[in-house]
Structure 1
Amino acid sequence: MESTISTQSNLLETYKQVRSHTEYLCEPLETEDFVVQPVMDVSPLKWHLGHTTWFFETFVLKPNVTDYEEFHPKFPYLFNSYYISAGDRWTRENRGQLTRPTVKEVFSYRQHVDAAIKNYLQSNELQEEVKEVVVLGCNHEQQHQELLLYDIKRILGDNPLHPHYREDIQDVKKIDVKSEWLNVDEGIYEIGFEGDGFHFDNERGRHKIFLHEYQMASGLVTNGEFIEFIKDGGYRDHMLWLSEAWDWVNENQIKAPRYWHQEDGGEWWSYTLGGYKKVNEDDPLCHISYYEADAFARWKSCRLPTEQEWEVACNIYSPNVLKETNFVDSKQFRPIQTSDFDFFGNVWEWTSSPYTAYPYYNPPEGALGEYNGKFMVNQMVLRGGSFGTSRNHIRSTYRNFFHPHLRWMFSGIRLAKHI
């Protein structure tokens, strides 16, 4: 998605496409699916719908439309997330306590704000600063579209009925993919965003880095490779695990990736958005914490790449997003084999880099300055996007980040090693 929109009609079209995709993702759901919150990290689905709408109401309509009528005076309190500068907020862990507003009311809220945004974009000559906020809001909603899929799977995935999210997910043909090591020479490289396309503030600060010679795996770790780790006692060998990670394994009785279950006879099955299925050993591994990714890398006598190594290797070997890349646009809703190197799509790839600021990082003033910078502590960087990411939302400089114990997101592993 470009940051410099040539015309406001293009900006309006982008807005409509993004908003309609959110509702497309919601189409298979029942009303009951929208209201539950099994754990704090999962928000009720109706909250995502309200929050992304609140963003446009708060940062576009209220500051710029003098006659705008707020949909409900309490909705900002309910649907603000972490923007302290924008006002008080309902606590995150209690979002699932609220049966009201109803799902129907939240969709009415979206319709109300959509109508106001469309009228505003059609009737006014926007300053560049306002255009940038609208584009940011569209990218913000795309982030929540992916979170929506994480949360849908978390809500449905522990249900003993194993309900399908979508019935129309098709099987794909097996592809013969050969794994190899990609060499990157020692040298000075530049990373970070430059140019005119959209980017988040945490990508800014184009800067030089020095890298020793290293190798990156040409593909993602597969389910079959991880099954071998399990069979070899990987979850029981404390020598493979960081101290904090070993505590996490034992306290939570972790024995397999999220959503995996071993049935009678020893076969592994997993809940997918297409229902409960036997684990395909050739498909990319998904739903892995940083702790598990790091332990697996040690077991393989390898390591996880740094985010700098990941970005440089991606720019050398896979600078462009290919047609067959598995994003949400392909409607597979799961990791699949592709003929690409999979630097983009399929699963987010853990790196060994903590989420910190680049040189020259300077967040914007006001509430939007809280978007990224305040989270630069105790989190690890992931790169590349997933099958839940929109094709026009990703780039090699994109920095995702999560706490190391989390694994309900679409996360996987690419190995690296020193030479």
Structure 2
Amino acid sequence: MSDDHSALRSTIASVLDRARARTLALTDAVGDDELCTQHSPLMSPLVWDLAHIGNQEELWLVRDLGGREPVRNDIDDLYDAFQHPRASRPQLPLLSPAEARAYTQTVRDKAFDVLDRDPLSGPRLSANGFAFGMIAQHEQQHDETMLATHQLRRGAPVLHAPAPPPSARRVSGEVVIPGGLFEMGTSTDAWALDNERPAHFVDVAAFAIDRAPVTNDQYMAFIDDDGYARQELWSREGWAHRNASMLSAPLFWRRDSDGSWWRRRFGLIEPVPAAEPVVHVSFHEAEAFARWAGKRLPTESEWEKAARWDPASGRSRRYPWGDEEPAAHHANLGQRHLQPAPVGAYPAGASPLGVHHLIGDMWEWTSSHFRGYPGFAHFPYAEYSEVFFGAAHRVLRGGSFGTDAVAIRGTFRNWDYPIRRQIFAGFRLARDVPAEEAT
């Protein structure tokens, strides 16, 4: 029988295989003892992530979509992220590394059998392979989480990758984005998740946004100007956190006696590269820097307009460079490199107005709280994003060098607590534009 969805099945199989290869590389890089170790109370043991990946795949693809018998229904509670906070997971009777590997492989075999038989049409979970795309994104999101765990672990380097490309052009200054309506979010992207939906028009006042994210050398100037000691630069909440956590530099940085800055990156101790975007800073640090610089963080809608709006056509594109899928020359994604690229390394990935590094390299803090769009409806479960809506979380955009292409696009929304620093997050600056400058 002919299959009208053969190309889609091939794409699904490819993204699932890519995610699993990365999962295994991240977990095979260390011995079983380290797999079971909690390297930080902020993170799960790597072996928990491994089995959780398999459990989510079993729940959604094998049982729900495929209607198959459970592989293991005795472990659902152990790998429910809402039942057990990360700090408590080492005390759970988790699957051993060997059991976790065998379990995830069994689940994957059954998931591919479901893929062979599913019509990839009809009910929304099946339509256009949504459930498979959701699971591929889920696995890649946990792979990025595991990559952050590797950054937190102590010991010799176990992950290796080539350096990112050098800067291809000088990128500095800012660009004014004209005011007016643009379409935010999506109603047509087949694998977009619920918080990206529905598409809606937003009227954004004219604003200026920096062509590049804030770099390490710029951040060093903030430190040297006593940015961490000047209370007037910080919000009340940020200042309290700065004092309680004794913040004085980005996470993993240290200053040598001669004044030079060094960082720990996946087990390597190296000089902080001046031209790279700064990472491992919290929202509070980003906000204080912005105030020091006489600017502010962009709102989420400003960020998305800068990333998607095409002034020539007036339409919103999937990525800054257009609608084509990310390629190696567009952006630093997929753990291809283990650090951000220097500013100007991806000119092909710039937006029509010349804003660079909007996709890849580092997540970008915005000033916006995480909330649903007008007309939001959770799908397929409220716990993916709806339960996180509110003032507790800030939105991040754009993805990092640890984000896979399947899990990022111009509409994709990430969120976290404003104190978080272990994530691969940085920021860029924006400012209001007076009327005479906006025209």
- Counterpart check, 1:349 vs 2:347: no
- Counterpart check, 1:407 vs 2:421: yes
Report the 3-state secondary structure (helix = DSSP H, G, I; strand = E; otherwise coil) of the residue aligned with 1:78: coil
RMSD: 2.2
In structure 2, relative to structure 1, the CA distance for the partners of 1:111 and 1:304 (3 Å cut) is same
CA distance in 1, matches of 2:80, 2:56: 8
Report the 3-state secondary structure (helix = DSSP H, G, I; strand = E; otherwise coil) of the residue aligned with 1:148: helix
Report the 3-state secondary structure (helix = DSSP H, G, I; strand = E; otherwise coil) of the residue aligned with 1:169: coil
State the Cα distance separating 1:217 from its structure 2 match.
Answer: 0.3
CA distance in 2, matches of 1:66, 1:175: 51
Tell me the equivalent position of 1:68: 69
Q: Which moved more, 1:111-120 or 1:14-23?
A: 14-23
CA distance in 2, matches of 1:381, 1:224: 25
**Number of residue equivalences:** 402
What are the equivalent positions in structure 2 for 1:37-52 lying under 5 Å apart?
A: 37-52=38-53
CA distance in 1, matches of 2:210, 2:68: 56
CA distance in 2, matches of 1:324, 1:360: 36
Report the 3-state secondary structure (helix = DSSP H, G, I; strand = E; otherwise coil) of the residue aligned with 2:301: helix
State the Cα distance separating 1:16 from its structure 2 match.
Answer: 2.5
Return the match for 2:383 from 364, 370, 393: 370
CA distance in 1, matches of 2:194, 2:341: 31
In structure 2, relative to structure 1, the CA distance for the partners of 1:363 and 1:31 (3 Å cut) is same
Report the 3-state secondary structure (helix = DSSP H, G, I; strand = E; otherwise coil) of the residue aligned with 2:130: helix
- AA at the equivalent of 2:268: G
Higher helix share: 1
Q: Deviations over 1:98-152 (max 9, x none)?
A: 4742111111111111121122323554554333222211111111111111122
Tell me the equivalent position of 2:149: 151
In structure 2, relative to structure 1, the CA distance for the partners of 1:291 and 1:322 (3 Å cut) is same
- Counterpart check, 1:358 vs 2:373: yes
CA distance in 2, matches of 1:117, 1:297: 47
Contact 1:303 1:415 in 2 (8 A): yes
Return the match for 1:396 from 406, 410, 424: 410
Tell me the equivalent position of 1:324: 329
In structure 2, relative to structure 1, the CA distance for the partners of 1:125 and 1:396 (3 Å cut) is closer
State the Cα distance separating 1:12 from its structure 2 match.
Answer: 3.2
Contact 1:221 1:413 in 2 (8 A): yes
Contact 2:280 2:423 in 1 (8 A): yes
Q: Deviations over 1:225-250 (max 9, x none)?
A: 00000000000000000001101111
Report the 3-state secondary structure (helix = DSSP H, G, I; strand = E; otherwise coil) of the residue aligned with 1:208: strand
- AA at the equivalent of 2:79: F
- Counterpart check, 1:137 vs 2:131: no
Q: Which moved more, 1:127-136 or 1:187-196?
A: 127-136
In structure 2, relative to structure 1, the CA distance for the partners of 1:38 and 1:198 (3 Å cut) is same
TM-score scaled by length of structure 2 = 0.86
CA distance in 2, matches of 1:298, 1:332: 32
Tell me the equivalent position of 1:20: 21
Contact 1:326 1:336 in 2 (8 A): no
In structure 2, relative to structure 1, the CA distance for the partners of 1:353 and 1:60 (3 Å cut) is same
Note the residue ranges of structure 2 that are not aligned, 5 or more in a row. Answer: 311-319, 348-355, 434-439
State the Cα distance separating 1:260 from its structure 2 match.
Answer: 0.5
Q: Which moved more, 1:407-416 or 1:205-214?
A: 205-214
Contact 1:260 1:271 in 2 (8 A): yes
Tell me the equivalent position of 1:86: none
Q: Which moved more, 1:377-386 or 1:120-129?
A: 120-129
- AA at the equivalent of 2:100: V
Contact 2:78 2:94 in 1 (8 A): no
Tell me the equivalent position of 1:104: 98
CA distance in 2, matches of 1:198, 1:69: 25
In structure 2, relative to structure 1, the CA distance for the partners of 1:413 and 1:14 (3 Å cut) is closer
State the Cα distance separating 1:65 from its structure 2 match.
Answer: 5.0
CA distance in 2, matches of 1:288, 1:389: 17
Q: Deviations over 1:242-297 (max 9, x none)?
A: 00110111111110001101122121111112611110111110011000000000
